[in-house]
């Protein structure tokens, strides 16, 4: 999988102007002449089979747009996104779920959206609900689920997709500690079997435990690419220095 000289998804300037009013230092992404700006600007990277890539950055940096491009939800405006193989995407906790339907019905609905056949879903159904730990609620409408239950079921469906690439965006933030550990173990197992994973999270300790490599995205550009512990250490040091500069004692 690779992305080369990618430009992606435009946002309008009224939102951008409001953001700059709140943060005068936010001047790094230049607007175009037509009053739009690039959410991703000349982004390039490659991902090997079996590699787990962490993506870090502040809110609005372009991380979610990056995953939408990889998931083929949003086409690149310019450049090349090469994604070979089946993609399992968890971009929102309840994406693909209908809250009036039961857990059982949503397993089939979400699985179909991800590209699984009905036969595949039926064959893996018991494993999906066992992993999600919702056996007693599987016939209950999802609107009655807690956010944690919904996240567990969504993750379990995606994790049981026979996909070469898995995209995970912040969805584990709503799960309890034990289930998050279980999810990390599942993703490590997927990586050992040769699957590639792109993992977006603000929980840097979790990202460091899971990922082989990390990139730092800021204002639509990749600023750093390297070993997670080293990159996160630099990122934290820069953030600490900025905090001291902005709020001197």
Does the domain spanning 90-160 belong to CATH 1.10.287? no
Range from 77-86, 114-123, 132-141, 197-206 carrying the lowest mean pLDDT: 77-86
Across the range 24-30, mean pLDDT stands at 50
Higher pLDDT, 121 or 69: 121
Task: Give 244: exposed, middle or buried? Use CB within 10 Å, 0-12, 13-18, 19+.
Answer: exposed
pLDDT of amino acid 61: 80
* Pairing verdict, β 221-226 and 78-82: unpaired
The residues spanned by each domain of the chain are: 1-85+164-249, 90-160
Rg for the chain (alpha carbons), in Å? Answer: 19
**Size of the chain in residues:** 249
Nearest partner of 165 among 39, 95, 67, 92, judged by Cα: 67
pLDDT of amino acid 249: 47
Cross-strand pairs, 11: 37
Domain 1-85+164-249: what homologous superfamily? Answer: P-loop containing nucleotide triphosphate hydrolases (3.40.50.300)
State the Cα–Cα distance between residues 184 and 168, nearest whole angstrom: 11
Question: Of the ranges 50-54, 85-89, 104-108, 194-198, which is most confident?
Answer: 104-108
pLDDT of amino acid 176: 75
State the Cα–Cα distance between residues 236 and 249, nearest whole angstrom: 19
Distant-in-sequence, close-in-space partners of 56: CB < 8 Å, separation ≥ 6: 63, 200, 201, 202, 204, 207, 214, 215, 216, 217, 231, 232, 235
State the Cα–Cα distance between residues 41 and 71, nearest whole angstrom: 18
Q: Please answer whether residues 128 and 88 qualify as being in contact, where contact means their C-beta atoms are separated by less than 8 angstroms.
A: no
Higher pLDDT, 184 or 22: 184
Q: What is the pLDDT of residues 91-146, one digit of tens each?
A: 776 667 899 999 999 999 999 988 899 999 999 999 999 999 999 999 999 999 99
């Amino acid at each position: 999988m690779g992305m080369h000289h990618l430009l992606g998804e435009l946002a309008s300037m009224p939102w951008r102007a409001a953001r700059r009013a709140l943060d005068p230092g936010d001047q790094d992404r230049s607007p175009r002449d037509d009053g739009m700006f690039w959410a991703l600007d000349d982004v390039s990277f490659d991902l090997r089979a079996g590699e787990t890539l962490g993506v870090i950055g502040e809110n609005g940096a372009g991380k979610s747009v990056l995953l939408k491009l990889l998931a083929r939800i949003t086409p690149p405006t310019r450049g090349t996104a090469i994604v070979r193989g089946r993609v399992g995407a968890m971009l929102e906790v309840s994406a693909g779920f209908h809250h009036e339907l039961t857990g059982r019905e949503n397993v089939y609905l979400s699985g179909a959206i991800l590209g699984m056949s009905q036969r595949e879903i039926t064959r893996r159904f018991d494993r999906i609900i066992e992993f999600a730990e919702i056996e007693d609620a599987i016939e209950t409408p999802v609107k009655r689920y807690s956010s944690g239950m919904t996240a567990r079921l969504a993750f379990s469906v995606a994790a049981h997709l026979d996909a070469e690439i898995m995209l995970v965006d912040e969805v584990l933030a709503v799960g309890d500690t034990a289930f998050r550990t279980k999810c990390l173990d599942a993703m490590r197992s997927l990586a050992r079997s040769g699957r590639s994973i792109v993992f977006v999270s603000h929980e840097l300790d979790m990202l460091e435990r899971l990922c082989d490599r990390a990139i730092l995205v800021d204002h639509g550009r990749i600023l750093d690419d390297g070993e997670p512990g080293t990159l996160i250490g630099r990122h934290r040091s820069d953030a600490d220095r900025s905090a001291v500069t902005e709020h001197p004692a």
